[in-house]
Structure 1
Amino acid sequence: MVCFCFLVDQKRMVRRCKPVAGSCSRCGRGASVAEMRTSTRFCYIPFYWKSWKAIICSFCGAVLKSYR
């Protein structure tokens, strides 16, 4: 019997952010618009990147709305 085990993970990074008017619906703190980057890695080697914008909470880090 042959068993294959591959390590695939996804990492989100905030590239830039600036505050916006409004508050988080979960914790009530301030929100900010951010340029996000998602990188998917296969055995620690990145092979796919995706950039997108999102409104995130500056305190708890929750993604409130995403623009893909």
Structure 2
Amino acid sequence: MVCFCFLVDQTRQVRRCKPAAGLCSRCGGGASVADMKTSTRFCHVPFYRKSWKAIMCTFCGAILKSYQ
């Protein structure tokens, strides 16, 4: 028996952010501390949600460091 399950989507959403000291190593933009939320859906059914903190660039949106 073979069972297939496909990853439909994974969304990353910024809930709150506030300015932080430092610069982005990729583009030189400012940094901010953000409360992030990741949601994963398999076959259109919500499967997994996770809340976490990250330091991200305000210009290019790169995640510089993440905290669990």
Q: Could you tell me the TM-score, scaled by structure 1's length?
A: 0.86
1:1-68 matches, within 5 Å, as: 5-8=4-7, 9-68=9-68
Please, which runs of 5 or more residues in structure 2 have no aligned partner?
Answer: none
Q: Deviations over 1:5-25 (max 9, x none)?
A: 533121111111011111101
Distance 2:14 2:44 in 1: 20
Q: Could you tell me the percent identity over the aligned residues?
A: 69
Distance 1:58 1:4 in 2: 42
CA RMSD of aligned residues (A): 1.5
- Helix, strand or coil at the partner of 2:11: strand
Q: How many angstroms does 1:40 deviate by?
A: 0.8
Please, which runs of 5 or more residues in structure 1 have no aligned partner?
Answer: none
Moved over 2 A (4+): 2-7
Q: How many angstroms does 1:3 deviate by?
A: 7.1
